[in-house]
Chain A
Amino acid sequence: GQNIDQPTEMTATEGAIVQINCTYQTSGFNGLFWYQQHAGEAPTFLSYNVLDGLEEKGRFSSFLSRSKGYSYLLLKELQMKDSASYLCAARDSNYQLIWGAGTKLIIKP
């Protein structure tokens, strides 16, 4: 079956760095997405990886290892507004997105 695993909840301190891991098992692979979702709002796109390596976009970076079925989202210089759920999703061979349950990130002052 197809499956996405990510931690349920993480806590970090304002100004620090946090890494949110995601492992996936899909039938075929056509990219790995990270979305941010604040409570009561729809998800917003953060990053997309289809090749191995690190993609950097400002304070956020995303890494992919296809051989390991593994990705992480790295958030630097954490701000209170980064408190949200972070959703990992992998696109399978049918271009369907398989969603993880999300990681709730709590930022403390």
Chain B
Amino acid sequence: GAVVSQHPSWVICKSGTSVKIECRSLDFQATTMFWYRQFPKQSLMLMATSNEGSKATYEQGVEKDKFLINHASLTLSTLTVTSAHPEDSSFYICSAEPTRELLEQYFGPGTRLTVT
């Protein structure tokens, strides 16, 4: 089956610093990758959709200058949380979609970010 990895699995950083999270599709090429955020006991919230080689499409209310997304290749997308604050502490999950016609999104294991 299709495998998506995320790195790091957890990270603790100080307020004001930036954190980069990587999402890789290991055995398939992902034309589209998605970034989600999930706060405790809440559902997934789509942050942005990225297609390889083009700018990401951000959901309403998500600051594109704060959450930088780069989808440089068909197997790698990165999310950089810039100038992180404690309220950015959350569970960040990426997913990858091989083609629009394929059935499902494949999720990475998630990255837990704690900003102190």
Chain A interface residues (CB < 8 Å from chain B): 31, 33, 40-45, 48, 87, 95-97, 99-102
Contacts and interface: CB of A to CB of B under 8 A. Distances in A.
A55 B109 CA distance: 27
22 contacts: A31-B103, A33-B104, A40-B110, A40-B112, A41-B109, A41-B110, A42-B93, A42-B108, A42-B110, A43-B93, A45-B105, A45-B106, A48-B103, A48-B104, A87-B44, A96-B49, A97-B46, A97-B105, A99-B43, A99-B44, A101-B42, A101-B43
Interface of B: 42-44, 46, 49, 91, 93, 100, 103-110, 112
Contacts, number: 34
Nearest to A4: B43
A42 B94 CA distance: 9
Given A87-B44, A99-B44, A101-B42, A45 B109 contact: no
A37 B110 CA distance: 12
B107 A100 contact: no
Given A87-B43, A100-B43, A42 B104 contact: no
Nearest to A30: B100
Nearest to A85: B43
Nearest to B45: A99
Nearest to B91: A40
Nearest to B94: A42
